[in-house]
Structures are given as C-alpha cells and as structure tokens.
Amino acid sequence: MALWGGRFSGAASDLFKQFNDSLPVDFRLLEQDITGSMAWARALTQVDVLSEQECARLTEALTQILKEFENNTAVMLASGAEDIHSFVESQLILKVGDLGKKLHTGRSRNDQVATDLKLWCKAQAEETLKLLIKLQQDMINLAQRESDSVLPGYTHLQRAQPITFGHWSLAYVEMIERDITRLKDAYERLDVCPLGSGALAGTAYPIDRQALAHSLGFRQATNNSLDAVSDRDHVVELCSAAATSMMHLSRMAEDLIFYNSGEANFIELSDSVTSGSSLMPQKKNPDALELIRGKAGRVYGALMGILTTMKALPMAYNKDMQEDKEGLFDVMDTWAICLKMASKVVEGMKVNKAAALAAAQQGYANATELADYLVSKGMPFREAHHVVGEVVVFAIEQQKALEDFTLQELQKFSDIIQSDVYQHLTIDACLDKRNVQGGTSLKQIQNALNDKIVPVEQPNLSSTQLRLNAHKAEMLQVRAARLSDVDSITQIVAHWTNKGETLPRPRDTVLRDILDFAVAEKDGEVVGCASLYIYGTGLAELRSVAIDENHHGHGQGKALVDYMLNKATELELQRLIVLTRAPEFFAKVGFTETDKETLPEKVMKDCDLCPRQHACDEVAMEYVLS
C-alpha cells in the first residue's frame, strides 16, 4: 500500500514502481524505523493524540515486527512495499488495524527517513570506530615488535635514508589517529535529531522535540525544520572520512605490496591473505592488499556521487536524495571490510630483517650523514652537499659503499675528513642521530610508543579495548537506551533481582519499555540503567535504577538520576517518586521521604511482584519539580 495514493485515480506503472521503490536498499533501516516509530508513539501520547493503552499496543506490535523481519529480508523484499516506512506501516496495520494509521499523525516521511538514516549512521560510526582502533593497535604492536628492524626509507621510490619498521608503522598510527578524530567529529555533528520537523515546516502538534531527541539517544533536536529534512551533510562527512581513511589504507597497501615483492623481499605475507596463480605455481600474490588499494576508488566515487547529487538541490526534500543511501551503505561496508582485512594482513606479516638491512646499507643512504659530518667540521652545507655528490659519483664508478673507502681516498675530496668519519657512516649512527621528536632513532620510537601504549590494568581487557573505551567514553556517557541495550539492561537488573534488591524486569518487558530506559556507559560499556514510568499528568516513578556491581562508586548512579531528572523537567512532570532501599543515595540528589499511603494505588500495585511485600523495607521518596 502506498502512503500517498489518495491523490491519484490511476495506478503507477510497473516500470515506475521498479524505478521509484527504495525498499531493496533501505530495508537495512528496519530497526531504526521501528525505534523512531516507538519514540514517535510515545511523543504522540504525551500530547494526547494517543492514549497510554494505544501507545502500548503500537509499541508491542512494532517490537513483534522487528522480531519477525530483522532476519527475514527475503519476505520484506517480496512484500511489494515502496520503502521501509510503508513496509513497517502496512505490517503495523495488519497487527493493530486502524490504530496503526494513527501513528503517522504529525510525521512526514521526510523527517522520518532523515531520522532513520542518522540513527543508522550513529550506530555504524560506533562500529567503524572499533575497527579503526583495532587496526591502530595492530600497527602499534608491529612497531613494538619491529622497533629496531632497519628498513630503507624512500623518496621518489629512490632509497633515501635508513629508518626502522617501527618508525614506518608509527607513521600509519598517526594517520589512523586522524581518521579516528575525523569520524568522531562527524559523529558530533550528526548527533542531532530531525524527528518532529514534519515535511519541511515543523509539526502542528506540541511535541517536546528536545525530549524526543533524548529518547532516541541524540544529543539534541535540530534547530531548523527546513534544514533538518534537507540536510545530508552527515552522509557527505562519513563518505569523506571514509575516503580519507581509504586513501591511508591504500598507501599502506602500496607500501606493503612493494615490500613484499621479489625485488624488495622485506616482508612475507601470511598465506591467509594471499592467493596463487592459475598458471605459475611459484607465485604468491598480495591480493588482499591489491583489493584494498582498488576498493579506495569505489569509496571516492560514492563521495563524488553524493556531492554531485546535493550540489544544486533546492530546499526541502527532493526525490534525488533517495540516492543517498546506496552509496553510503556501500561506503561503510567497504570501509569496514578493508579495515578488517588490513588488520588481518598486519597480524600475520613477517619481516625479513636481513634483506631489509642489506637494502638499507645499499644505495648510499648514509650520504646525508657524510654531508652532516663535513658541516660539523665547518664546511657550509651547500659546499658539503656538492662534495658528497662527487664522492657518490666516484663510489658508483668504483661500485663501493662510502664506508668501504680508505681515509686517503675520502681525503682526495676534502682534507678536513679525518678517521672519525667512519663512526658517522654506520647504519646505527644514521638512526641514532635522528633523535629529535618524531625522528627515527630507537629512543624516539620508544618515546612515541610510550605515548601510544595503553597500560593494561584490567586483566580481562586488551589494549585495543581500552583504547576503544577511551574514545567511546568521549562520545557517550549517559544516554537514552536503544534496542541493542536490551540484553545488557536485562542482565544488570536480573543481577540485583536475584539479590532481592529490585523488582524483576524480564527481557520482553525491557524490550517493550525500552523507550522508558536510559543507560550509563563507562568506557564504552553499558554499566547501569534506569527507567522513568509515567502514571498520569505530572507524576512518574523512577524504576530499575541499577549499576553493574563492578562499577559502583564511579558516579554512574548519580549521572543516571540527574539524566532522569532533566528528562522529567523537559516532560513538564510535577513529581518524581521512587521506592528504594538506598534512601541515603537518593537524599543526596534531592529526594525527600514521603508517606507510602500518599502514593496512588497503581504505584503500590507494582509491589505485588515483590517477594518482600509482606515485610517491606523500602522507603518512599519524592522529588518535587519546579
């Protein structure tokens, strides 16, 4: 069923339908569309468009749709729906009848698709961040392992000065760090919620858009409805961040392809990332690296595609913008698989130290050291540069290394050269002299590693996980719960239920009420939860406030209560109540004791679930909101 058929007396042609429909691409937004629809149902309830019972029925039906179709793509695609929004709405109507038609009140597909896509982008950015940090840690590990393995450095693909594999690895650590910061910057800007912007002018219903944004896990709501539905900067920025990162991966791939060649023979790639030739049995081809290098082009193409699509569009939504998702989805998929493959390559790579060292000793890589030596004796650099050039010409004619000349032979070019020159021409001397910050000396490499290495104080966490946690902690602290948090919330609540400290909340209940929950994250891990259950005008109960036992004492509980108090204020609630066995904690955040007898009967009805109902030791407390 089309969402717009009333205006038309004739049916769309099959060709137009095939050309127009986006479900074959945007079916990937199923979870996001359902999450957004649940939040919108709650928002409509708060402005009396829906009753509490209607909201509960819609939420339950939406939950069922997700369960039925999240792993059943074939049925979705065979449905004939125009897009993911019409698919979800048609399924909803099948389950709840005309009630399903009420959900779209005050909402447009324009703000709906913008919200869905931003939710997807946020989740995808978080997953990509993990992969970037994993690869960065792999490069740090390689730098540690090969910190003193000598490698010829190149400019113009000509041997220039000796470096180490550690120094080479750390160069890509720096590139990946910039990739990480670019992704986090993009995340910060896309973390605003368009829902409630309507088609372009805003919704006619008095929706609290800030509260709506928080319920979906966004930092805030967008400030302009026209911009909100027109904006695809987040698609451009993610594609741009991916293109820059893929450029780095492609350069690394090119380096390693060359290092792996028979001419260089500096490294050997693992069998798990290489292939053979159908004709030449001796070959071992670096296919993984070549594909990384090749796939950079398709990412660049998608970036240019979205920029070109958006460059001349008039304001508000245009159907051209339907083309945003196919390229973006491919970009994020390609970026992810290339990051995974790059990690696999680095993990299994072996360095041929002898071959790399021999190459570094050839090609007169120590010529700059001889020039510096002459400068240290008082010769102007330009003159020293000329003198050493003559020495190299002679060395090439004689097919000798600079350090193999006798003192008398070297003194033919300058009589200020003395016997101490030889200590400056060794590989170790070449490396050690580069002892400035960022240099290739072993001391500077160790200093750089010391800055990058994360101390592993927690035995169950790797350096990679700790590095990821540090970045994710910057991105999220306390936020609205998402569907992906259901298991974590259920586990935390179940732990304290088993200890008799809180009422049971089965997984199905948590899933149904997920929009009522907020979670606390510490170092990227869900460590606490709380829910806000609204009884009626002006009254709500703070429920299921629970912190993982291993994370007590770090302020997560207070942060959760503060978050819920802010949410209650945004919802214009008048009173927040809690039944607790920890009155001291709630007193510290402003709650005061109250008589249980003053609480509404439906609040106390929840106590029927409590095994201690006949010997209750909970204290009733309230927070009066001004």
> Is residue 75 classed exposed, middle or buried when 0-12, 13-18 and 19+ CB atoms within 10 A define those classes?
exposed
The 8 Å CB, 24+ separation contacts for 456-463 are: 462/137, 463/137, 463/140
Rounded to 5°, the CA angle 45-109-70 comes to 80
For residue 160, the SS3 value is strand
For CATH 1.10.40.30, the residue range(s) in the chain are: 367-425
Check residue 458 and give its pLDDT. Answer: 45
What pLDDT, on a 0 to 100 scale, did the predictor assign at position 480?
Answer: 87
Q: What is the mean pLDDT of each run of 10 residues along the chain (626 residues)?
A: 56 84 95 95 95 94 94 93 95 96 95 97 93 94 91 87 91 96 94 95 94 87 96 98 98 97 93 73 81 97 97 92 96 98 96 90 76 87 89 84 81 84 72 77 78 57 66 67 90 87 87 90 84 84 90 77 86 88 84 82 55 65 85
Q: Distance between CA 388 and CA 411 in Å, rounded?
A: 12
Longest Cα–Cα distance of the chain, Å, equals 106
Could you tell me if 517 and 485 are in contact, meaning their C-beta atoms sit under 8 angstroms apart? yes
Helix/strand/coil percentages in the chain, nearest 5: 60, 10, 30
For residue 377, the SS3 value is: coil
Alpha-carbon distance of 470 to 175, in angstroms, equals: 18
Q: Where in the chain do CATH 1.20.200.10 domains reside?
A: 110-358
CA atoms of 327 and 298, how far apart (whole Å):
9
What stretches of 343-490 adopt beta strand conformation (E)? 350-351, 478-480
pLDDT of residue 554: 66
Residue pair 368/385 in contact (Cβ under 8 Å)? The answer is no
Q: How far is CA 75 from the centre of its chain?
A: 30
Enumerate the CATH 1.10.275.10 domain ranges in the chain, comma separated. Answer: 10-105
CATH code for residues 476-624: 3.40.630.30
C-alpha 82/C-alpha 22 separation (Å) is 6
Residue 167 dihedral angles phi and psi, to the nearest 5°:
-65, -45
Residues that are catalytic = 156, 277
Q: Please report where in the chains the tokens 């602290």 appear, as a residue.
A: 477
pLDDT confidence of residue 6: 56
Number of residues that this document lists for the chain: 626
* Contact partners, residue 32, CB within 8 Å, separation at least 6: 115, 116, 117, 119, 120, 123
- List the beta bridge partners of residue 536: 539
Q: What CA–CA distance (Å, rounded) separates 199 from 202? A: 7
Q: Whose CA is closest to 33, among 82, 66, 71, 73?
A: 66
- What pLDDT, in 10s, does the model give residues 59-117? 999 999 999 999 999 999 999 999 999 999 999 999 999 999 999 999 999 999 999 99
Burial of 494 per CB tally in 10 Å (0-12, 13-18, 19+): middle
Give the amino acid at 185: D
> How many of the other CB atoms lie within 10 Å of CB of 9?
6
- Fold of the domain spanning 110-358: Fumarase C; Chain A, domain 2 (1.20.200)
Fold type of domain 10-105: Fumarase C; Chain B, domain 1 (1.10.275)
Burial 310-324 (b: 16+ CB within 10 A, else e): beeeeebbeeebbbb
Query: For strand 619-624 and strand 592-593, is the pairing parallel, antiparallel, or unpaired?
Result: antiparallel
H-type helices in 412-543, by residue range?
427-432, 442-452, 463-475, 486-498, 507-512
195 in Cβ contact with 213 (< 8 Å): yes
Tell me the C-alpha distance between 227 and 252, whole Å: 39
Q: What rounded mean pLDDT belongs to the chain? A: 87
Pick among 1.10.10.10, 1.10.40.30, 3.40.47.10, 2.30.40.10: CATH of 367-425: 1.10.40.30
